[in-house]
Chain A
Amino acid sequence: QSALTQPASVSGSPGQSITISCTGTSSDAGVYKYVSWYQQHPDKAPKLMIYDVSHRPSGVPDRFSGSKSGNTASLTISGLQAEDEADYFCSSYTGSTVVFGGGTKLTVL
């Protein structure tokens, strides 16, 4: 099972919006609603930010949103804040297993 494809890095200024893409195939992200996004700060465990493509767990700011079109899922962060600077990983169910994206480093300029 190949990893989902994410851009290596994205950047934005405080207050701006950014979008991170996550491209899979018709065997994973393209066919299942179980796409999730995780935020990871240095030396910390990942934290769930979005599940089932577009749902936010309790406590996650509504600045974070998710969507999907075809084989590509996206995470959008609006009103960027300094604390959003982190690595972001997507994941997808594949029918019996799970696959992660390679990760995207978000830099807040």
Chain B
Amino acid sequence: QVQLVQSGAEVKKPGASVKVSCKASGYTFSGYYIHWVRQAPGQGLEWMGWINPNSGDTKYAQKFQGWVIMTRDTAISTAYMEVNRLTSDDTAVYYCVRQDRSGWDFDYWGQGTLVTVSS
């Protein structure tokens, strides 16, 4: 069965960086885009960007360009999302999600990784 398993919760200080991993299983990793979506406490969903695991091509929401980096390691079917220069506004649950092959919906979600930014 399809699974996206993310790394554990992180606590970081302002100005630091965090890298979240997302290990895929149960399907061909290179065949489906991976997106990252975050959700601040009590807030809505915010789309951050996608990575094509096959080519490594990425597309970021304008807000995240220049300080979020998405990468992947096809050998271990894992996607990564790194956020730099963290501020308290980046405290959120970060989800990796699989894009359905034929559309732009998200059919499988990781369990989420809570990143807390606090001094």
List A residues at the B interface (Cβ < 8 Å): 1, 3, 32, 34, 36, 38, 45-48, 51-52, 57, 89, 91, 93, 96-103
9 A-B pairs (CB sep. < 8 Å): A3-B44, A34-B103, A36-B104, A46-B95, A46-B109, A48-B107, A51-B103, A51-B105, A91-B106
Residue among B49, B62, B109 making CB contact with A45, cutoff 8 Å: B109
Compute how far the CA of A98 lies from the CA of B35 in the bound complex, rounded to whole angstroms. 10
**CB interface residues, B 70-98, toward A, < 8 Å:** 95
Residue among A48, A51, A89 making CB contact with B45, cutoff 8 Å: A89
In the complex, the answer to whether A101 meets B105 with C-beta atoms within 8 Å is: no
List B residues at the A interface (Cβ < 8 Å): 35, 37, 44-47, 49-50, 59, 61-62, 95, 100, 103-107, 109-112
Compute how far the CA of A57 lies from the CA of B107 in the bound complex, rounded to whole angstroms. 9
In the complex, the answer to whether A97 meets B61 with C-beta atoms within 8 Å is: yes
Count A/B pairs, Cβ under 8 Å: 60
Secondary structure call for the B interface = strand
Residues in chain A near residue B50, CB distance under 8 A: 98
A88 to chain B, nearest CB (A): 11
Residues in chain B near residue A89, CB distance under 8 A: 44-45
Q: Which residue of A lies closest to B99 (CB)?
A: A98
In the complex, the answer to whether B62 meets A36 with C-beta atoms within 8 Å is: no
In the complex, the answer to whether B47 meets A45 with C-beta atoms within 8 Å is: no
Residues in chain A near residue B59, CB distance under 8 A: 96-97
In the complex, the answer to whether B106 meets A48 with C-beta atoms within 8 Å is: yes
Asked whether A52 and B103 contact (CB < 8 A) given A3-B44, A45-B95, the answer is yes
Compute how far the CA of A104 lies from the CA of B37 in the bound complex, rounded to whole angstroms. 18
In the complex, the answer to whether B104 meets A93 with C-beta atoms within 8 Å is: yes
A38 to chain B, nearest CB (A): 7
**Chain B CB within 10 Å — which of A57, A91, A101, A102 has the most?**
A91
